[in-house]
Structures are given as structure tokens and as C-alpha cells.
Structure 1
Amino acid sequence: MDFTHDATTTELIEKLEAFMAERILPAEPVFAEQLAASDDPWAWSRTPILRELQAEARDRGLWNLFLPPKHDPDGNGAGLTSLQYAPLAEITGRAIGLAPAVLNCAAPDTGNMETLAMFADEAQKKEWLEPLLAGEIRSAFAMTEPDVASSDATNVETSIVRDGDDYVINGRKWWITGAMNPDCTIFIVMGKTDPSADRHRQQSMILVPRDTPGLEVVRGMHVLGYDDHDHGGHAELRFTDVRVPAANLIGEEGDGFAIAQGRLGPGRIHHCMRSIGVAERAIELMCTRASERVAFGKPLAEQGVIREWIAEARVTVDQLRLLTLFTAWRMDTAGNRAAHGDIQAIKIATPEAVQKILDRAMQVHGGGGLSQDFPLAPAFAGIRTLRFADGPDEVHKAALGKAEIRKHSA
């Protein structure tokens, strides 16, 4: 294996780093100010500075970088492999929250676009995938439910019942990221079409437009006190006799669980890639703060414990990067299914390690680390969320441990 960047990746890294330094990082406070002054603080996708930066990203050839070539026959993205995209996703993670949206590489839209690219029919792609790739609309993925342990996707209780030429949907969902944004015009909803089928064939996925009668956005939800309105928030939804055409079903009845697994694999590595960028930003902020602040007669940077924290953070981030690059290489060369254990490994390792780095960076900043004056506190809340998102740590550890035991027992 060779993780040396090829010419295409090197060129894109140079372009993206320049764009970040010249335009995106300086735009962070502008984005916050414009969103706060907006008539609708949930409508982050309409913020003028974001629209301006998105147009510039297209001009610079930095649009839809996430979409792999096998899912991109029409050339809507950059045609990058997972290994090529990895360092670019890391760079976007440094502009906490803003850069992925600028490049149209923000979750949950990336996962939804890959789902549609892999499993939707041509009519569904025309109606929903094309405007998502163009950045004209936003989307949400509705799987998690309040009444069951959604770490086991087979637990979902939302019903999707065939009625003539339609399906009728009833149920509740929560933690539906992006749903508060009025530009979120389409939901991919997972529910049960046949509760009597095999455990992994009971679920299906269906497309539900936002304006469908009976679909109610009940409330926004907070993450450690943050409403996350800067990327569309998280919502609780209620579906009451929601009727959509049968043509809105993605794939066939019973394909939902398999589609979910196909969707979450790339999503997990994208999260880890960006999280490494978050950690790099935290190290940078920690070093700057430690050099500027004096305590007990000398700069914090000369305190032994602070140097230990910074050294440990550097070692940890470099380890995580190598593990993530290896996983990306495995996905490209052996396929997502073969790389499943590697994806679990990075999903276990990355959020917990980055959370520790952020915690120490906050400690170095003192009270400032808890405040709105630095991006560390919201970044901490976001990274803590990843220990649940796309499957909690414990589920991945149990599955990876089981596979390891089976391998050695054989």
C-alpha cells in the first residue's frame, strides 16, 4: 500500500488549503453574524456568505468532492476515490461546520446523495439527486426513533403500509439532522413494510417530500445545550397517515436494512476524516493559547503538563490519520463490505480520541474554552455526538470483538 498523494490529490490539496486560508476561515465570524441576523436562523443554506463561497468553490473545482467515481457516471463530482478524498475531508474539518457546506460535502446530504446514487431509480435521481448535487435543496435521513433502541436498526417501528398505488406512513422519528432547515425538502424515511418477514427484510426506505400532508416537524432538539442551527438543527418528526406514491420507494420492499448499511459505511469514514481536521484545529489553538498565556511566572507552553498534552495529541492524530487512510485504501481496493471491520475500528477510535484532545484544548484555554469566543465548546459537543451517530461505540466494539474472536477460533 502507498499513501503518497497522487498528482490529482496534491493539486486539490493545494487549491483547498488556499481557499481555506484566503476565504473560508476568515468567513467563519461573517457566517455566524449573518445567520444570527437572518429572519430564519435555521435557514443556514440561504446565508449570503455561504452562497458566495459555494459559487467560488464551483469555480475553483472544489464541488462535490465526496462522490466516488463508481457512483458518479455523469461527472457531477470530482471523481475521487476514498483515499483521494481523505486528506481533503480532513482539511474541511478545520473550519468547524462551515467548509463541508461550502463544498457541498456536508452530512447528512452526502450520505443521502450516495444512497440515491447507489439505489434510486432514474426518476428519483432526476427529481431529488440532481438538485442535491447542485446545492439547490437540502435533505434529511429519518431512521432514529424515540421509543426504541435505534442502535439496532431492525427495531424501527414506523410503519410503511401499501395501499393501492400509495404507501401510508405512521410513526415518530427524532434526532433527524438538518430537518429544521426550511430548504430540507426531502426526507429518506426508514420504516417497516412487513413485520412478519425475516428480521433484516422487514425494513424499507421511502422518499417523503417535506410538504406532504401529515408530516409534522414537532420540535428542534439540543445537543449539550446547542441547537446546531448553523447546519440545520436536529428535529423530532411525526408521521400521521402520510401518503406518498409507491414510486417513492427506494429499491424493493425489504431492502431498507441493506441500504442503511451501504449508506452508513462511507458516512462513518467521512465523519472520521473531518474529525481529524477538528483535532488539528484544536492542537493549533492549544499551541497558540499556551504560547500567549502566562501562569506562575512563565508561559503555559513552558509548563511540562501542557507540553505532554500537545505531544500526546500529535501522536494520537497521526495514528488516527494512518488508520483512516488504511481504511480508505481498503474501501477502494477490497470494497466497503470487506473493509467493514476497518470502518468499525476508526469509528471506535476517532471520536473518543478527538474528544480527549478537545477537552485538553479547552482546559488550556481556561474559561475561554467554555465560551463562544472559541470554537472548542461547540466542536466538543459535535464530536461527543459522533459517539452515538452512525452506531454507538459499544455496538461497534461488540461487533469488532466478535469478528476477531471468530477469526482466531477458526
Structure 2
Amino acid sequence: MVLKLRRRDKRKKYDVLREIRKSPYLGMLLARLCSLQKENGSWFDDPLITAYALRALHKSSVIFSERDEIGDVIRRGRQYLEKELESLVDKVIATRRLYSQLDTLARTFSLLVLVLSEINKKSKFDELTLTAFKKIEEEVVKYRYSLGDLEVFSQFVKCHSIKSFGEPPVELVEFLLDKLLSSEEPSVKLEILDSLYSITKDHGKLLETSWRKISARYGIQQDLSEYFNKTAVNTLRSLVESESSEIKALYYGNSLMEKLNVHLPEVWSLTLKKAENLLSRMYSENDEHFLYEFSLAAESLCLTPFRNAMVLNAENLEEIEKAIRWYEENKSKNLVLLSKKRYLLMEVALVAVILLTILLAVYIIYGFNVWFVLSVLVSLVLFIFSRISK
């Protein structure tokens, strides 16, 4: 009788079926934004709303670079904003008193400067624009305690991250620091932190000097960077705990996380939920405020990992969820995850130890000559290298 030994087939291993796709939510947000642009390049003939929409499209265009229609929409919108900025410059220079319209004028002017600087990638503006900017800024500093829109101050400070606008006024920086320390609203704190962080690179000394003065008033001993980082993380966590769906707070939160290299998935999830909510209403609401939120939602998604979507096969999903749950339960135990490479090296080392043990035992018992031992060792080394190369 011939006994046949059949090698058992190894269990087939299937790779996880997965595809990375650009976020369908972001694609829908952009498509809706593009469809609402008017022939003159604006949205609702409003330069402020147009600036928000254009900024969102510009940031999204990096992800959807193959869509030529987005480039055309951005080009028309940029031309509209450039004309509006020229008009605002002439208006500011010609107007003697700006106080009656200072809130709207300052917010629009500063946002147009920031958006055009980002889109055109330029750090220099003409003398007339700089003159108009300084005139508005002097009025903002003068009436800072009577103006109600915090975004005016935060945007004006951000403008000083553009080199041609020079150093920000000390009074404006101290005003924002005072607001930061006195406010309990997460959205206010995040907006101020995002604004001040944008000038730390170019105007760090001014910021440090102002911080020492204002922090002493509140009895705070921490240095600026330590306070910024700690406050940012704590504020983001409080945003998650309150489950705030205010898109403005989520936008500044995501922007700040990117700058500080902080990762809070809960904030990303809140952003996604807000985008879903806005998408469900995108054909029933088309006013200026909705478009403002819509633009911030698109821009916020660009700052999260949800700008890309992973499409998984349903058969793999249960196993992936089990693996994630196991990892979350065990990551606090200082376990080292065994990768495929580590497993292979362990396998090779184990086989090598076993063979060396057998060889040593045979040598002790039978006393093989040195050349035989060396030939076996060479074979063993070649075996190890062949396994590692695989």
C-alpha cells in the first residue's frame, strides 16, 4: 500500500477590499455652490458672501483639481472681488467719517484682502489699498469697545500675517487677548486663538509683550505658547461635550487643529454631521445666511480627513470593526502590534533556533566534522535570507 501524503492547502487570505474616493459630501457642497454663482461672478451680489464661497471653493479646488468648472467659477469670483475691493478702497478714501458703517465695511474689506491674498498668492498690495486699510484700522482701534462683531478684530489681525500690512496695532492685540481671557464661549475662544496664532511667526515678540501685560492682569503665570496649546485643546473638548453644531465654531476649531497639529476625531465627526444637516436642506433654503454656513461647512470638511472617503466591502466591515474595538481596548496596555514584517522575522528566528538546537544535539551525539557543521550553517543562513527577502 502506497501512503500518499497530501499537503494541506493553506487557508486563502483575502485583502480588505477598499477604495479611496473624494468625499461625496464635499463634492455635493461644491456643486451646489457653483450652481448658485451669478453671471457677474458673485453670490447674491454680496461681496462678503462671495468671499466666503470663493474661499471654500479655492481650498476645495486642491482636492478636486480635475474639475475644470471649479477653476472657471473661482476665476469669475476673483474678478468680481477685485472690482469690489477697488470700489471699497475709493469709497473709504473719499469718506470722511466711517463710524456709521464701520462694522460691515471693516469686516468686508478685511475678508476681501485675506481671500484675494490667498487665491492670488500675493503678499503685496498697492498703496491705495494699504492707505484705505490703515484708515479703517485706525477707526476700528478707536471704537473697539463699541463695535459688536468680533470677526472684525480677528480678521484685521489676520491681515497682518500678510507682509505688506506690517505690524498689528498693540491695542488690537491686547483687546483680543483680553477677550480671550474673559470669555467663556468656545466659539469666541477658538476664533481669537486662530487669529492670534496666525501672527505668531511674524509678530511673536509683539504678541509675547502684550501677553505678559494682559496675563498679569488676570494673574496667569503660564507663558503664551503653553496657554495657547492648553486652552485650544480644552476648548475643543468642551465644544465636543456640548455637541455644538454651530458651523462657525467648528470651522475655527478645525482650522486651529490643523495649525497646532492636534487631532480630535470627535470634532471631525461633528463637522460631518453639520455638513449632512446642511445638505439635507440645500434645495429648500437659499438665502445669504444659509450660503454662509454652506461655505463654512465645505471649507471645514477640507480641513478634516472626511475630505476623502474610504469605501469598504460590506463583508470586510465586521472584521475591521472587531479589529478596531480590540485595538481600542488594548492600546492602553502598552501592547506592541505585530505587523506582517515582525511576524515573519519571529518565524525565521524561531526556525533558526530550532535548527541550531537540532544541529548541536546531533554534533554532540555523533561528532560530525567541522566542514559538515559549516555547510549546514551556510544553508541555514541562506534559508534565513531567503525568508526575509520574501
> What's the TM-score bracket when you normalise by the shorter of the two chains?
under 0.3
Q: Determine which structure has greater relative contact order: mean sequence separation of CA pairs < 8 Å that are 6+ residues apart, divided by chain length.
A: 2
Normalised by the length of structure 2, the TM-score is 0.27
Q: Which has the higher helix share?
A: 2
Normalised by the length of structure 1, the TM-score is 0.26
